[in-house]
Structure 1
């Protein structure tokens, strides 16, 4: 049985293991960020009593949505980077950082406006 996902490992040559491990550490850092966003969304929904029910739902939905997007984008980013290393191409740029920063700024602005 071969390595999974096949679309990542079926082409190119095996890169230096240090680069693959660094790519995995970056993936895990993004997953930790996604988990923190999900936990924040759950906390807003269950603990934040200073907001109305609708405000809690909106803030919680935004945080949970950002967490899901972050987790999916982390996987996509890992796969693209691993494939680029295997084929000798430049590492792809990531829009994840900008999108995540804008989402967090939006949530923070909403919290400040509603508080």
Structure 2
């Protein structure tokens, strides 16, 4: 049997429902990245009397958006490849990164509200 290294290499075609669910998850990561990017731009442009804290908040949003956008396709590819090969789905470290990132952004936003 040939080695399966990509989402379209050999293996068996996964149930289309799983393929579409994987695609929806990929798009959800991109929507989340776009939302974070929009939030970062909004904080940078719309916060009156910008401070270092508001710049940090905007930067955190933009950086987390970039990390999510950069990791969305590789994650989709890993899952698609695993489904084709009949292997277990790979674990994702992005869940903890996203959770921690949102927590840091939330705490920074709270500090901005309290100290401004």
Alignment gaps of 5+ in structure 2: none
Alignment correspondent of 1:111: 109
Specify the alignment match of 2:84 in structure 1: 86
1:96 paired residue number? 94
Task: Give the equivalent residue in structure 2 for 1:77.
Answer: 75
1:50 Cα shift? 5.0
Structure 1: segments with no counterpart, 5+ residues:
1-5
Partner of 1:33: 32
Give me the whole-angstrom Cα distance separating, in 2, the residues matched to 1:11 and 1:72: 26
Q: Which ranges of 4 or more aligned residues in structure 1 deviate by more than 3 Å? A: none
Question: Is structure 2 residue 45 aligned with structure 1 residue 62?
Answer: no
Q: Deviations over 1:21-66 (max 9, x none)?
A: 11001111111111100000000000011541x3232111110110
SS at the partner of 2:83? helix
Inter-partner Cα distance in structure 1 for 2:63 and 2:42? 14
Cα distance in 1 for residues equivalent to 2:112 and 2:20:
43
| Cα distance in 1 for residues equivalent to 2:38 and 2:8 | 33
Q: Distance in 2 between matches of 1:111 and 1:38?
A: 15
Distance in structure 2 (CA, Å) of the matches to 1:77 and 1:99: 14
* Count of matched residue positions in the alignment of Structure 1 and Structure 2: 109
What TM-score, normalized to structure 2?
0.85
Q: Output the TM-score relative to the length of structure 1.
A: 0.86
